[in-house]
Amino acid sequence: GWKMENVLDEEIKVINQTVAPDEHVICALSGGVDSTVAATLVHKAIGDRLHCIFVDNGLLRYKERERVMETFERDLHLPVTCVDATEQFLRELKGVDDPEKKRKIIGKEFICIFDDFAQELEQKLGKRPAYLVQGTLYPDVIESCPPPGSGRSHSHTIKSHHNVGGLPKDMKLKLIEPLKLLFKDEVRRLGKILNVPEGFLKRHPFPGPGLAVRVIGDVTLENYLDTLRLVDEIFIQSIKDAGLYDVIWQAFAVFLPVRTVGVQGDQRTHGHAVALRAVTSEDGMTADWYPFDGKFLAEVSQKICNSVRGINRVSYDITSKPPSTIEWE
């Protein structure tokens, strides 16, 4: 491991040598660890010449926007523009079942919004931003170009960051990738020095397309997204209460658009089913389902059915990766 204080000083120096005093930088924050640490680092170097955007696409988790904006503003003092694009995203996703089509639509909408943000910024500043910050990590770099020898090399081919999904080519932004020589645990240590809250640094990974790949089929039907958010929050909170959050790689709920028969009180119900998923993993490439004890699962199931309207069945996913993937779509 490297000494993170030295890495921090070195990175700040490099950023200040790269970005001229009259140049501006933009960054898309996903709410994840990597983009947050990258932006915080750049902000420390160049201050308010950094301009961040956070997009609420309507596919975020329970109170996600409020929670991450509070961290950005209160804990990190990052200059962030929050755009609520829920209507725009859900309009485009209406009637779409296919997982890859959903991803394409979400990627395309994101680029439109990012493009608008850059143009508005250009008008305000009287010049276009010159750089884009990305939270690319070392494993993303070696995946596309294994370095010779054992030392970590600066030279690499750039792989587009899948959370951002590629950016318009005519934007001509140069990249700043301050984490490109670091592994995930090193990013967490760096984040700690930069005062990113501990709880934030330990968050499970969350896919760019968000809950769109966790509501099976058309995500815009009825109140599927809101229902899923409530179920997911109960599951995650129960995992935290049981002290299991940090041993699990990823945990989440999936909304199943099938109706099954139940009996609640003395009423026959015809409600929806959800699946819970929790896996352990080193890197997301392979994964094992997590063996919760029966008592834990029974309590979570009961809590969900008792408090989330419309849900009368909870199942637990006991497939590993392979043969399944971690996400259901």
CA-to-CA distance for 165 and 234, rounded, in angstroms? 30
10, two tokens: 């070195």
User: Is 32 marked as a binding-site residue?
Assistant: yes
Give just the sign of the alpha carbon dihedral 84, 88, 92, 93. positive
**Single-letter amino acid code for the residue at 35:** S
Q: How far is the CB of 49 from ligand XMP (least distance, A)?
A: 28
Give just the sign of the alpha carbon dihedral 269, 218, 290, 208. negative
Nearest to ligand XMP of 167, 326 (CB atom): 326
User: Is 293 marked as a binding-site residue?
Assistant: no
Q: How far is the CB of 284 from ligand XMP (least distance, A)?
A: 4
Nearest to ligand XMP of 71, 324 (CB atom): 324
Nearest to ligand XMP of 18, 320 (CB atom): 320
Q: How far is the CB of 30 from ligand XMP (least distance, A)?
A: 8
User: Is 33 marked as a binding-site residue?
Assistant: yes
**H helices present in 257-328, as ranges:** 294-307
Report CA Rg, the chain.
Answer: 21
CA-to-CA distance for 38 and 58, rounded, in angstroms? 24
User: Is 1 marked as a binding-site residue?
Assistant: no
CA-to-CA distance for 62 and 66, rounded, in angstroms? 9
Nearest to ligand XMP of 8, 39 (CB atom): 39
Point out which residues bind ligand XMP (CB under 6 A). 103, 162-163, 205, 207-209, 250, 284, 321, 325-327
Q: How far is the CB of 18 from ligand XMP (least distance, A)?
A: 27
User: Is 31 marked as a binding-site residue?
Assistant: yes
Please state the residue numbers annotated as binding site.
30-36
Please state the residue numbers annotated as binding site for ATP.
30-36
